[in-house]
Structure 1
Amino acid sequence: MTSEPTDRSRPAQRQAEIFEHVMQHGSVSATDLADLFHVSLMTIHRDLDELERQGVVRKHRGGVSAQPSSVFESNVSYRLRAARAEKIAIAHKARQLIEPGMAIMLDDSTTTLELARLLEDAAPLTVMTNFLETIKLLSTIRGIRLLALGGDYFPTHDSFLGVPCVDAIEALRVDMLFASTSAISGSYTYHQEQEIVLVKRAMIRAAQRTVLMADHTKMGRVALHRLAPLSDIDLIITDTQASPESLVEMRENGVRYEIA
């Protein structure tokens, strides 16, 4: 009599567990995964191909990673866990800039999500965002007028992007934009995803002031697309682990910054 397959032997279940393992460790070799899940290396590579097709990880020689590269933006599940303490500190610093009665915009970054968690006592406040997690969070807070920026839903980012989202943003004017990005180097900010670049640029144009919330892991890095020159940013808030070289570079480019 043939025994029923275990959950781990089913591809979908195994791939979910592989994804969770990669999220926890950042980068893992295919050999280690094959040993961990007691399957062949060929089976693991098929699983990794499927996870890469879904856009949640990227394969590299010998393994797989959830960490960002110059052309790959990490899945939102990984970003929610990365540099959490630094993001919280930056969010508390940014919160000091918000006053009741303002209209603010939050992008789809996990850093601005930490700021959204601090807005319960900021009412009355008007908040616009394209990040589904932030929409769900703020929808429960009394005194906050919430404008959800719709568009094409991207599961990898848990946000709305595309032409409809850009059109919605361009019809608005806000006091302040709080945003983040994947990379800052020289006199420019960068991001891996073209769709996100277009939305963030529209957000910058819609704001009287732009505050960039960027932890130290974003400094001294580049990505595929130039997002905006630092001259378009009114203030950068970073954390205490930002390298002296990065801070000098920002000063030399005339960028105002604060340390959280």
Structure 2
Amino acid sequence: MTADENEQSRPARRRAGVADYILQHGSAPASELAEVFDVSVMTVHRDLDELERQGVVRKYRGGASAQPTSVFESNVGYRLRTAQAAKNTLAAYARTLVEPGMSVMLDDSTTTLALAPLLADAAPLTVATNFLHTIKLLTGVPGIRLLALGGEYHPNHDSFLGVPCIDAVEALHTDLLVASTSAVSATHAYHQEQEIVLVKRAMMRAAGRKVLLLDRGKISRTALHRLAPLTDFDLVVVDDRTSESELRTLRDNGAAVEVAHS
């Protein structure tokens, strides 16, 4: 690399470092980032503007965050780091629902990603997904027939969405859908982004049995777009951090809820 090329790549390397720092810590004030990366606060704000444009973080007064809100879904890099133990617990429960010979659809959630490595010993299986992480994980696994649901690639989610993806989903009918979402109230599932809602709805229509996996952090929340009533899922699986009152509320409103124990 020449000196000029090195100079041009320095801001990109710093922005990558800033993004990783925020993804690791959840949020950070601009003053802290300026100190960590030995640059001015003005430079940090320029970096945050670019990272926000890319959908990696959202800016707030004085800093930036990777944590979700009712209108902002976290970048996949942040979601891969969060609630890992709960996701593994939920995935282990979901694995008990999969039998050899089945066709299974997985959405682009990091929760269902935890299920993917557990599927090898259930082969032969047909697995359909729009999540590039899952596609890469299952590529070449013996006994797994992999159907990649293409569409427009969204780097913020590392998945394929849009009309082509919906068309690909609607051409299938799988035995089982295992999905997650970012928020649930007492009665409904929600998500921040319209395009993801449309794909998840198509997946629900394309599956014989529909299972929703939820870690405790997603319960008693809402987001901008309503996905579906919880009663549209054949089973809602929560982790064992969920309180008795939360379980009672979900069940009293008609949801079929089971608890996955670690």
TM-score (norm 2): 0.95
1:183-222 matches, within 5 Å, as: 183-222=183-222
- Aligned match of 1:68: 68
1:80-159 matches, within 5 Å, as: 80-159=80-159
CA RMSD of aligned residues (A): 1.7
- The superposition leaves residues 41-64 of structure 1 with CA deviations (integer Å, 9 ceiling, x where unpaired) of 111111100000000111112211
Give, in angstroms, the shift of residue 6 of structure 1. Answer: 8.4
2:244 is equivalent to residue 244 of structure 1:
yes
Q: What are structure 1's unaligned runs of at least 5 residues?
A: none
Deviates more, 1:244-253 or 1:26-35: 244-253
Aligned residues: 258
Secondary structure of 1:119's aligned partner: helix
- Aligned match of 1:41: 41
Question: Quick one: which amino acid aligns to residue 236 of structure 2?
Answer: I
Separation of aligned partners in 2, 1:246 and 1:39:
46
Question: Quick one: which amino acid aligns to residue 40 of structure 1?
Answer: S
Question: Quick one: which amino acid aligns to residue 237 of structure 2?
Answer: I
Question: Quick one: which amino acid aligns to residue 195 of structure 1?
Answer: E
Q: What are structure 2's unaligned runs of at least 5 residues?
A: none
Separation of aligned partners in 1, 2:159 and 2:104:
17
- Aligned match of 2:162: 162
Question: Quick one: which amino acid aligns to residue 101 of structure 1?
Answer: G
Give, in angstroms, the shift of residue 186 of structure 1. Answer: 2.2
- Aligned match of 1:229: 229
Which portions of structure 1, spanning 4 or more consecutive aligned residues, are displaced by more than 3 angstroms? Answer: 3-7
Q: Is the 8 A contact 2:230 2:236 kept in 1?
A: no
Secondary structure of 2:51's aligned partner: helix
Separation of aligned partners in 2, 1:244 and 1:38:
48
- The superposition leaves residues 4-46 of structure 1 with CA deviations (integer Å, 9 ceiling, x where unpaired) of 9988x92111111001101110011111111111211111111
Secondary structure of 1:56's aligned partner: coil
Question: Quick one: which amino acid aligns to residue 142 of structure 1?
Answer: P
Structure 1 residues 90 and 183, CA gap change in structure 2 (3 angstroms): same
Separation of aligned partners in 2, 1:133 and 1:5:
31
Identity of aligned residues (%): 65
